[in-house]
Structure 1
Amino acid sequence: MNKIELLAPAGNMEKLKVAFNYGADAVYIGGPSYGLRAFAGNFSNDELKEAVLYAHKLNKKIYVTVNIFPHNEDLKGMDEYLKYLYDLGTDAIIISDPGVFSIAKEAAPKMEIHLSTQANNVNYRSAIFWHGLGVKRIVLARELSLEEIKEVRDKTPSTLDLEAFVHGAMCISYSGRCLLSNYMTGRDSNRGECAHPCRYKYYLMEEKRPGNYMPVEEDERGTYIMNSKDLCMIEYLPDIINAGITSLKIEGRMKSSFYVATVVKAYRKALDEFLNKGSDYKFNPEWLKDLTKASHREFSSGFYHNDPGQIYENSSYIRDYDIVGLVLDYDKNSKTAYIEQRNRVYKGERVEVFGPNFDTFELELDCLRNADGESIDVAPHPQMKYSIKCDRELKPFDMLIKQKPE
């Protein structure tokens, strides 16, 4: 039970550091190619090296996505890349294609391999098959119920790890195997370029009545028939762990640092509480409240309880809070926190201070200064440096957030 892993997304180096700082045991990241998030920040080869070194100093792990479904031209250079990842000390690669698997076995035979959710693993025989070939971990398809996961766990070797998503966006297509983006925009979702047409608003048009758009409605609630709710399993963490999952995966390599911090912190608290209390564990509603501060859609428990849910009104995220600053440093003598701006903030505003090791508290920004120490009324420029006064000591990667006006 103590080996349960909290696995977070990291779209760039800052998000990686945030994820570890807020309690992730491991992160999954994408390199310069071969991953399914081509528009995330991703990591250059040099940044991959930096990421692995940073993680291993903290006794944490790095998994690199190599989970595209490659066409012939995509295979060029893949053997050298996989060998490079192994030589760096990458803890595992995440793959979905048998061809990539075979290349990995030839180029880096000792590399740990995880099978991506894109491979649609939904039964124990498939899991046994891949494990027999050398896959260490199966990332189960999102379409499985808790009962089905229990059966997979019961009928597979204990040497096989099972990983499952517990939080984040859901795809309307089967485990992400979608062709809408290919047809509508020419961007191949299975090669990392999804344009998310499932979030578009659709109408019907009859061929002899051009320009006469008829809304597509379901129960008169709206037109977003392919717009999935977000997955959120924080209320059911004991159930998913008791089903046999050993790695709890958070979705969101293209999400913000604030999203990563908020979600990782909430699940870290819940997981630690469960591991420490066991049968005396009680869910704390504050964890769910904290999760709602990050950008999200309506929550559901996905296929775990056979009710993934759709949103018919719109495709917008709920964004009740903005991050206005990331703490860079703190001077104990002057009680000054040095901040990097993330959204416009004004002198005199009340903000919330959010961090991994304390309960969120409010702070009035009665002293706002620029990088030259001059008093300012507003910090308007993205990533500008400014300072504030705060009696409580802050640490790097603590955050200033503020609620949006209603």
Structure 2
Amino acid sequence: MKKPELLLTPTAVQDIEKLAEAGADAFVIGEQRFGLRLAGDFSKEEVKQAIEVAHGLNKKVYVAVNALFHNDKIDDLYEYLPYLQSLNADGVIFGDPAVLMVAKEVAPHLKLHWNTEMTATNWFTCNYWGKKGAKRAVVARELNMDAIVEIKENAEVEIEVQVHGMTNMFQSKRSLIGNYFEYQGTIMEIENRKQEKNMFLYDKERDNKYPIFEDENGTHIMSPNDICIIDELEEMIDAGIDSFKIDGILKSSEYLVEVTRRYRKAIDLCVNDRDQYEVIKDDLLKELEELQPPNRPLDTGFFFKETVY
């Protein structure tokens, strides 16, 4: 039975070794101006350092270039993509066809992963982008388990699924919060790594807090809960899903290490000793629940029900 890749989104270069020791197989990093909703903002030099560290540990690095590109940023791709190719990045995550077209022209050896967050909802779409050059598709977070398994059964590309962390509900290209403060005569620094500057939308009726994440690509409103299916991995592993992603956005390095350890154990047992996985999976879920902040309960997202936020 094939063991799926365990994919992490580190907050900084120094996270990579710790996460690798905890069991991560691969990492998603990137620079804010090119990638959406990154757990950490990696400069070009830090991307180079991260790839060197990861490759030294026999781990893979995928660089997020999945922003929506306006005309004024296209020229930057002609320099950035060949740079990533020269670093031997293991893949580039894209959503905008401009990235694919520029990569074919100036960085043809880059492996491409198609990720538009919301529109990978059937295998025809995944295979369409596969025929255009993508090697992997990241399926939408709004799919249930049956749909994910059916996509994998018919896909001609690798399939990646998020199994843990928060998900995006809304994005605007505008800096809505920054613009609001500027209108009031106060300039708010756009900084999404300072925990004390977290901002939320509060839903009194449901008692939910929706984190607001603002970066160079605009404003993003995130889910009030974190996905966690550490106790429901069997069906996707049996289907041959290629990569399980733990999203580290707005999470601490320490939290990510502990979550990675639990998923590493769960995946290994689910593949190698299914009976033992069945015995301990509920305990692993309880351990993760204890790691959660009070305002971030765990749920199964859309895997088994129509979650309504």
Query: Does the TM-score normalized on the shorter chain lie above 0.5?
Result: yes
- The one-letter code of the counterpart of 2:103 is A
User: Structure 1's 9 and 149: CA in aligned 2 closer, same or farther, altered over 3 A?
Assistant: same
Which deviations, in whole Å up to 9, do the C-alpha atoms of 1:134-166 show, x marking residues without a partner? 100001010111111122122222xx1100000
Shift of 1:107: 1.5
Shift of 1:200: 1.1
- The one-letter code of the counterpart of 2:150 is E
> Is structure 2 residue 236 aligned with structure 1 residue 240?
yes
User: Structure 1's 44 and 182: CA in aligned 2 closer, same or farther, altered over 3 A?
Assistant: closer
> Is structure 2 residue 162 aligned with structure 1 residue 161?
no
Which whole-Å CA distance do the structure 1 matches of 2:229 and 2:160 have between them? 14
Structure 1, 67-76 or 266-275: larger mean CA deviation: 67-76
Which deviations, in whole Å up to 9, do the C-alpha atoms of 1:80-127 show, x marking residues without a partner? 111000110100011111111111121211110001142621011101
Shift of 1:289: 2.9
SS class of match (1:54): helix
Partner of 1:64: 63
- The one-letter code of the counterpart of 1:200 is L
Partner of 2:201: 200
Shift of 1:37: 3.4
Which whole-Å CA distance do the structure 1 matches of 2:306 and 2:199 have between them? 18
- The one-letter code of the counterpart of 2:200 is R
Which whole-Å CA distance do the structure 2 matches of 1:223 and 1:257 have between them? 25
- The one-letter code of the counterpart of 1:290 is E
Partner of 2:12: 12
Which whole-Å CA distance do the structure 2 matches of 1:183 and 1:261 have between them? 32
Which whole-Å CA distance do the structure 2 matches of 1:185 and 1:18 have between them? 34
TM-score normalised by L of structure 2: 0.82
User: Structure 1's 223 and 145: CA in aligned 2 closer, same or farther, altered over 3 A?
Assistant: closer
Which deviations, in whole Å up to 9, do the C-alpha atoms of 1:207-263 show, x marking residues without a partner? xxxxxxxxx63xxx5475885321001010112323442100001144211111011
SS class of match (2:261): helix
Partner of 2:183: none
- Give the greater-gyration-radius structure (CA): 1
> Is structure 2 residue 287 aligned with structure 1 residue 290?
yes
Which whole-Å CA distance do the structure 2 matches of 1:61 and 1:280 have between them? 29
> Is structure 2 residue 132 aligned with structure 1 residue 139?
no
Partner of 2:186: none
> Is structure 2 residue 175 aligned with structure 1 residue 179?
no
Partner of 1:110: 109
Shift of 1:264: 0.4
User: Structure 1's 309 and 262: CA in aligned 2 closer, same or farther, altered over 3 A?
Assistant: farther
Which runs of 5 or more structure 2 residues have no equivalent in the other structure? 181-189, 211-220
User: Structure 1's 248 and 234: CA in aligned 2 closer, same or farther, altered over 3 A?
Assistant: same
C-alpha RMSD of the superposition: 2.7
Which runs of structure 2 are paired with 1:348-387 in the superposition (5 Å)? none
Alignment partner for residue 268 of structure 1, among 264, 283, 303? 264
Aligned length: 282
Kindly indicate whether the alpha-carbon contact (under 8 Å) linking 1:181 and 1:197 is maintained by their aligned counterparts in 2. Answer: no
Partner of 1:82: 81
Which whole-Å CA distance do the structure 1 matches of 2:32 and 2:224 have between them? 29
Kindly indicate whether the alpha-carbon contact (under 8 Å) linking 1:7 and 1:27 is maintained by their aligned counterparts in 2. Answer: yes
- The one-letter code of the counterpart of 2:241 is I
User: Structure 1's 249 and 25: CA in aligned 2 closer, same or farther, altered over 3 A?
Assistant: same
Which deviations, in whole Å up to 9, do the C-alpha atoms of 1:296-347 show, x marking residues without a partner? 411111111124355xxxxxxxxxxxxxxxxxxxxxxxxxxxxxxxxxxxxx
Kindly indicate whether the alpha-carbon contact (under 8 Å) linking 1:92 and 1:113 is maintained by their aligned counterparts in 2. Answer: yes
Which whole-Å CA distance do the structure 1 matches of 2:191 and 2:99 have between them? 21
Which runs of 5 or more structure 1 residues have no equivalent in the other structure? 188-192, 203-215, 311-406
Alignment partner for residue 230 of structure 1, among 204, 226, 229? 226
Shift of 1:66: 0.6
SS class of match (1:76): helix
Which whole-Å CA distance do the structure 2 matches of 1:194 and 1:130 have between them? 34
User: Structure 1's 14 and 292: CA in aligned 2 closer, same or farther, altered over 3 A?
Assistant: farther
- The one-letter code of the counterpart of 1:292 is E
Which whole-Å CA distance do the structure 1 matches of 2:79 and 2:99 have between them? 12
Equivalent pairs: percent with the same residue? 35
Question: Larger RCO: Structure 1 or Structure 2 (Cα < 8 Å, ≥ 6 residues apart)?
Answer: 2
Which whole-Å CA distance do the structure 2 matches of 1:181 and 1:294 have between them? 33
> Is structure 2 residue 252 aligned with structure 1 residue 251?
no
Kindly indicate whether the alpha-carbon contact (under 8 Å) linking 1:168 and 1:231 is maintained by their aligned counterparts in 2. Answer: yes
Shift of 1:19: 1.2
Shift of 1:57: 1.7
